[in-house]
A and B are shown apart, each in its own frame.
Chain A
Amino acid sequence: MTGGFHLTKRDGISRGKAVLIRLVAVLLSLIVCGLVIMAITGDNPVEVYAALIDGAVGSKNRLWNTIRSMMLLLIVAVGLTPAFKMRFWNIGAEGQILVGGIAAAGLMIYGGGSLPGAVLIPLILIVSTVSGLLWGLIPAFFKAYFNTNETLFTLMLNYVAIQLTNFAIILWESPKGSNSVGVINQASKAGWFPKLFGANDTMIVLLVLLVTVLMAVYLRYSKQGYEIAVVGESRDTARYAGINVKKVILRTMMISGGICGLAGAIIVCGASHTISTGITGGRGFTAIIVAWMSHFNALAMALVSAFLGFMQQGAIQIATQFGLNENASEIITGIILFFLIGSEFFINYRIGRKGGGKG
């Protein structure tokens, strides 16, 4: 496929050049998305993009929706980061979010009447984190001791979690027979994140940023963070260096699953106020791509999450305004992701003419 051309792996690329390549990719993806939308709707692409921007940041409400959408994606990406850095393919974030969400919804329902908010909300955050942590520990245990393929294992656990969610929904459905839990504690708002500084989503933003900063510090400056990097580079090297690889795998997946479980609580208490299989919004999968493309850099993850959040909220507006259905946003996300993924190649490799000097 590279006939006539010669590829070499780049040793390093200047930050500016890498950013430039990504910007070109984003620009190309926006052009392609515009063409696709134009082909489907027959509308002027400038108008379509105006609608997109209007939908994402056009009013205070919409801006908050975009910020919330970004934050929820960011925390899942942050949760996946330690596992990926260890080269442990945790595809199971969807499931870990759901078990955290089930725990949160359960506590809201059973504890909402008796416990004050100052006790209930911290309790929910802790229990959801522990639920996600245990869910993540299962595939980690089998990876550590039997070397069971974690990609497929975590993938399958997602569907076990989905069925558990469906079971919980029928257990708690309201009204009976509706197959939906409905808004939990709508009147009392027990377990809902309180309004802080005049906005509903402040607590989401604070929690997510806190976890993000803590994770960046943990990976960069702690001994455990260093161990994760060594195990990710080579398990043999780690063993020679006297690192207990099994222990690192178990510990790291507990952290990864725990944060995803916490994300489930944040979604349920801060955004959806209900439990359904749809609360993840596919973030467990999208976040994998976000974390991978950002090379686990916290700032890059925040930027990519912001961009995807912006496009998704914008696409919802396009869909309503031009009478399309809301799945348009998944197509747009997909196209953008393809371009961003493809652009990595031009960052990692240098293309030269065959016979030319060494790059």
Chain B
Amino acid sequence: MTAIIAFLNAAIGQAIVILFGATGEILTEKSGNLNLGIPGIMYMGGISGLMGAFFYENASDSPNGVIGMLVSLLCALVVSALGGLLYCFLTVTLRANQNVVGLALTTFGVGFGNFFGGSISKLAGGVGQISVRTTAEVYRAPVPGLSGIPVIGEVLFSHGFMTYLGLLIAVIVTYVIKHTRKGLHLIAVGEDPSTADTAGISVTRYKYVATVTGATIAGLGGLYFVMEYLNGTWTNGSFGDRGWLAIAVVILALWKPTNAIWGSLLFGGLFVLDIYLPGLTRATKELVRVFPYIVTILVLIITSKRNKPENQPPESLGRAFFREER
């Protein structure tokens, strides 16, 4: 039983990181932008949140965790929004190729994260390993009362507030896309920008808003990882390829954030499965870690073969819109 609880909690810990990224990417892709810069943006969100909290805790004599939390949240949001804005400026305004811009942004973002993560303590005057325990404690505080319930409380309520925020955002984004006028307009922009433009929808504005909002949501995934998973520290390379897993979950979820909740849990489980599965050697553990990607590829093949329109990527995904070319 304790092993199962430990496994579920580890899976949830992985899943929430992926969920933030996947929700952000789904919102982005709905506007027709395939933002392959999301993995980089998650790095940027994580490190900037950590740096914000770090400089606050260093500057204050008796740092307050809640203020540290707000500072780091703000830093992560602003920097990831800037990442999304840069992507939009290049792909929407300057009409550059989306894949190329996305990959460049990921190169930049991963470098940005590892550079500052690796040298921040040095830049701040050699204070050793950076750690923002006071702030991280606020992020990691379990739900009061409910987390005391045996088993159920341990699995469902022992997480910090960002876990529930991630779930809430996924539900809200799904609702907005499916049930509001703005959501319908967004789908129209992603499916057929020329027609949407003719109908008087500002394609440019929808692409910008969806992509920048998507980037900030994804950036929160990086922040969650740094604060709740790493407990307010940074190890270069530890974020790994979670950002790409988030993009994989988008496919698995068939472009619906509520599906992404289950998809993320599945991937989170598969991500840590090798630790909990008995009888594996170090070598076969590496092979078990292939599963999330194989599952994604299978989903990709099956959906393309079935060819149901509602399960497909948005029609204009990856292509720039140029009004004068209609």
Contact = CB atoms under 8 A, between A and B. Distances in A.
Interface of A: 1-2, 7-9, 40, 89, 91, 142, 146-149, 151-153, 155-160, 162-164, 166-167, 170-171, 282, 285-286, 288-289, 292-293, 323-325, 327-331, 333-335, 337-338, 341-342, 344-345, 348-349
Tell me the dominant secondary structure on chain B's binding face.
helix
Nearest to A344: B96
B215 interface: no
A334 B109 CA distance: 8
A330 B304 contact: no
Given A159-B244, A167-B286, A1 B93 contact: yes
Contacts of B322: 7, 9
B301 A146 contact: yes
B83 to A, nearest CB: 11
Contact of B294 (A1, A146, A160, A338): A160
A54 B15 CA distance: 46
Contact of A9 (B100, B122, B325): B325
B101 interface: yes
A292 B110 contact: no
A289 B100 contact: yes
Interface in B215-252: 236, 241, 244, 247-248, 251
B193 to A, nearest CB: 14
B293 interface: yes
A160 B290 contact: yes
Contacts of B318: 89, 151
Interface of B: 34, 36, 86, 90, 92-97, 99-101, 103-112, 114-115, 118-119, 122-123, 204, 236, 241, 244, 247-248, 251, 282-284, 286-287, 289-290, 292-294, 296-297, 300-301, 304-305, 313, 318, 322, 324-325
Contacts, number: 157
A333 B114 CA distance: 14
B248 A156 contact: yes
A127 B251 CA distance: 33
B108 A146 contact: no
Contacts of B297: 153, 156-157, 160
Contacts of B96: 341-342, 344-345
A28 to B, nearest CB: 14
A185 B308 CA distance: 53
Nearest to B287: A167
Given A1-B93, A142-B301, A334-B108, 16 more contacts: A2-B93, A91-B99, A91-B103, A148-B301, A155-B36, A156-B296, A157-B297, A160-B297, A163-B287, A163-B290, A171-B283, A330-B112, A331-B112, A334-B111, A335-B108, A341-B94
Contacts of A330: 107-108, 110-112, 114-115
Contacts of B34: 151
Nearest to B204: A1
A328 B115 contact: yes
Nearest to B317: A149
Contacts of A345: 94-96
B286 A288 contact: no
Contacts of A153: 297, 300-301
- Across the A-B interface, the 3 shortest Cβ-Cβ residue pairs: A330-B111, A334-B108, A345-B94
Contact of A292 (B97, B119, B286): B97
A285 B103 contact: yes
Report which residue of A282, A286, A331, A342 has the largest number of chain B beta carbons within 10 angstroms of its beta carbon.
A331
Contacts of B97: 292, 341
Given A1-B93, A329-B111, A148 B300 contact: yes
